[in-house]
A and B are shown apart, each in its own frame.
Chain A
Amino acid sequence: MNSNFKTFLKGIIDVSPLMIPVVPFGLIFGILAIDIGFSPLATMGMSLIIFGGASQIILLQLFSGGASSLVIISSVGAVNSRHLLYGAVVSEHVSDLKLIWKIIISYFLIDQAFAVSNEYFKKSKEKNKYFHIIGGGFTCWVVWQITTFLGIILGEAIPEKLGLSFAVPLTFLAILVNDFRKMINVIVILVSGLVAIFGYNYIPYKAYVIVAAFAGLFTALILTKIVKKS
C-alpha cells in the first residue's frame, strides 16, 4: 500500500471514536436550520462552506434572534479564534508544504482532527505525516455532511413543540464538560454567562456574545497571572 494512503487511513482510524458526538450535533444543526426557516439548500451550503459546528450553530442562534450581519460574522470569528491556536501548533509541521496543501489542511483543521493529528505529529518523523490530518478532517467532513442532510429530512418531520432548540445550549454545555473541574475555567464560565444574561437586553446589536467572551477572556488573563504569582 502507498505510504501516503496508509497515513491517510491511520488518520481516519484515529479520529473515528471522536465522530460519535458529531452525529447528534450534525442532526441537531440540520433540524434547527430548517426549523428557523433556512432552505434545505442554504442549510447544506452552510455545512459545505463553513464546515464548523460551533460557527454554524451560533450563526443560527443569532440569526433567529435578529442579530445584524456584522454581529453574526464577528461572533463567528470570536468562536473560531481557538483555531488560531491550532494553526499555530500545526504550522511547524506543515511549513514546507505547497500553498494548495496548506489551504486543504486549513479547511480540515477542526477540533477533532486537530486533537488526534497533533498527537500523531509529535511522534511521527515522516515527511508525509500531513496525510494524517487530511484523513481525520475528511472523515469528519463526510460525517458532518451526511448528518446535516439527515437533519434536514428530520427537520421537516419533527414538531416544533418538542423544544429541540434546547439542544443548542446542551451541545455547548457538553463541549465544556472537561472544563467544569478546573477552578479558573469555572470562574471564566460564570463571568461570561452572567455578562451574557444581564447584557442581553442592554448591549446593542446582540453583541452580548462578543462582550461576554471578552469579559471571560479578560478574567482568564487576570486569574492565570494571579495563580502564577502565588
Chain B
Amino acid sequence: MNEWVLIIYCGLITFLTRFSMIALLKKEMFNDRVREVLSYVPSAIFPAIIFPAVFLDSTGSIQLEDNPKILAAIIATIVGVLSRNIIATIFSGLISYWTIIFVL
C-alpha cells in the first residue's frame, strides 16, 4: 500500500472513532459498565508498545542482561509515579539512558 493511502486510512479511522459517537449516539447508548471498561483502554494498549520496545532487542528476542533500556525505564517509572509529570518522566528516562550508554 502506498504510504499516502495508508496515512489517509489511518486518518479516516481516527476521525471516525471521534465522530461516530457524536453523530450517532442516542441518549445513553453506553451504560456505565461499558464506560468503565473503556476507561482501561490506555492501560491495555500502551504497554503493548512500551514492553517490546524496552525488553526486546533488534531481532525480537528478549534481552534482560546488558540492556540499558530496562534500567532507564524503571527510573522513568519511579520518577513518573512520584512526580506525576509527563515531561519529568520522559526526560529522566532519556537522560538515564544516555548516561548509561555514553558515560558509564
Binding site for B on A (CB under 8 A): 20-21, 24, 38, 42, 45-46, 49-52, 54-59, 61, 63, 69, 72-73, 76-88, 90-92, 94, 99, 102-103, 105-107, 109, 162-163, 165-181, 184-185, 188-190, 192-197, 200-201, 208-209, 212-217, 219-221, 224
Contacts and interface: CB of A to CB of B under 8 A. Distances in A.
A77 B13 contact: yes
Interface residues of B, number: 68
Contacts of A103: 19
B13 A49 contact: no
Nearest to A79: B45
Contact of B19 (A50, A81, A106, A200): A106
If over half of B's interface residues share one DSSP class (helix, strand or loop), that class is named, otherwise mixed; here it is helix
A197 B13 CA distance: 26
B9 to A, nearest CB: 5
Contact of A192 (B19, B23, B37, B43): B43
A78 B41 CA distance: 8
Contacts of B29: 88
Interface of B: 1, 3-4, 6-11, 13-15, 17-23, 25, 27, 29-30, 35-56, 60-62, 69, 72-73, 76-77, 80-81, 83-87, 89-91, 93-94, 97-98, 101
Count chain A CB atoms within 10 A of each CB in B4, B50, B60 and give the residue with the most.
Answer: B50
Contacts of B87: 20-21, 24, 174
A158 to B, nearest CB: 13
Contacts of B36: 224
B3 A42 contact: yes
A85 B88 CA distance: 28
Nearest to A38: B3
A50 B11 contact: yes
B60 A220 contact: no
